[in-house]
Amino acid sequence: MSTYLSRKKSCLSLVATLLVSLFSANGIAQTVDINPNTTYQTVRGFGGHNGVGWIPDLTSAQVDSAFGTGSGQIGLSIMRMRVDASSSNWQIQVPTAALAKAKGVTLFATPWSPPAAMKTNNSLIHGRLSPSSYTAYASHLLDFANYMQSSNAALYAVSIQNEPNWDPDYEGCQWNSTEFIHFLKAQGSRFGTLKVMAPEALNFSKTLADPILNDATAAPQFDIVAGHLYGVSPSDYPLARSKGKELWMTEHYTDNSDANDWAKAMPVALELHNSMTSHYSAYVWWYIRRSYGLITEDGNVSKRGYIMSQYAKYVRPGYTRISATEKPYSDVFVTAYKNSSGKMVVVAINNGTLQRQITLQLSAGSASSFVKYRTSSSVNNQYAGQYTVTNSSTSAYIDPSSINTFVSQ
């Protein structure tokens, strides 16, 4: 009898555990408190690099796929390009840049190396910028900006140097903090309304950026602290923000595997989320079109591209990130945004294996309903229903391994 009772208790305990687990996963909605009065960074947009000069240019159809906001398009709002060391090659940047600019895209440019004659080793590979060439180099960057402006592709910003803390066996140029400070003090005022980016370092190096930010004369001469995520995860940079600088992530790719491998695509969603919660104003992928890119070599938008679209199509330039419960579950990640007219966008990533239910708790009168769009292994930025707001809240299920965007109506 005691064995029977023991087994019965064990069975009842197992059933209770399963019911609690099921009820927790699907029956109890966790609340996402959204407060539009608590604001964080202004979002400038989401983008990618156009690699013309190293790889073939985007076609006009691919420009539409990348920067359009229609069905099957990504909605990118930023494009990065390269400042070639030779002005004779600048014209190859124009076709895609002009098409993107006509769509309202924000353009910025990055040099991999100054012209060889301006460097200590007279080579595009290795070496440093000669201090005697500071004036000539600033003119080189400004000439590129003027050229693009005259070609209907005006730049929003220009970077001083790509990955100055990396010495590769291809085009590059090393800079230390002192060199940036001296350059900015001497030449920074020449850039006028053109935004200046620095240091655009590998590993988003704060060690390189800190002395520049702490120099009272150099710091006002640049606008954007840019960096790359190779070797590091997104993280906030309070010093930069305290100096009035925006944080831009200007180059990264999570890996070079097939862009349509869903298991390898989901980390892109998490990196986007972590970049936004780290107060980044911009997130820029490496090559727009590549086997591992936002568009694959056949010209089709990839799974990574559709993940990006869950942010890029709806969180448009000028939106502000607002307060929202970041992790209503251990495997669910949420950010929220609003524009100047009060329209809200909520992005919820379910990185787990269970369906989750969330309740969006809002300020009174802030929205009447939300439309949901979803990307998963089986769907691409697909309409996934409308949710009416009642008593300042609405509840929705979000599928396992999916990215969900709720757009207020």
Strands across the sheet with 382-388, in order?
Answer: 382-388, 369-375, 402-408, 344-350, 332-338, 320-324, 30-42, 356-361, 393-398
Longest Cα pair distance anywhere in the chain, in angstroms?
Answer: 95
Q: Is 179 a catalytic residue?
A: no
389 closest CA partner among 353, 363, 357, 355 = 363
Q: Which residues pair with 383 in a beta bridge?
A: 373
Instruction: Round to whole Å and give the CA distance between 21 and 7.
Output: 21
Catalytic member of 179, 200, 251, 271: 251
Q: Is 90 helix (H, G, I), strand (E, B) or coil?
A: helix
317 closest CA partner among 104, 153, 159, 96 = 104
Q: What angle do CA 247, 251, 253 make, to 5 degrees?
A: 125
Residues 6+ apart with CB under 8 A from 8: none
Q: Is 297 a catalytic residue?
A: no
Enter the tokens of residue 188: 């920074």
160 closest CA partner among 208, 97, 106, 226 = 226
Catalytic member of 163, 171, 200, 271: 163
Find out whether 177 and 208 touch, Cβ atoms under 8 Å.
yes
Could you list the beta-strand ranges (E) of 88-150: 106-111
Instruction: Round to whole Å and give the CA distance between 386 and 354.
Output: 22
Residues involved in catalysis: 163, 251
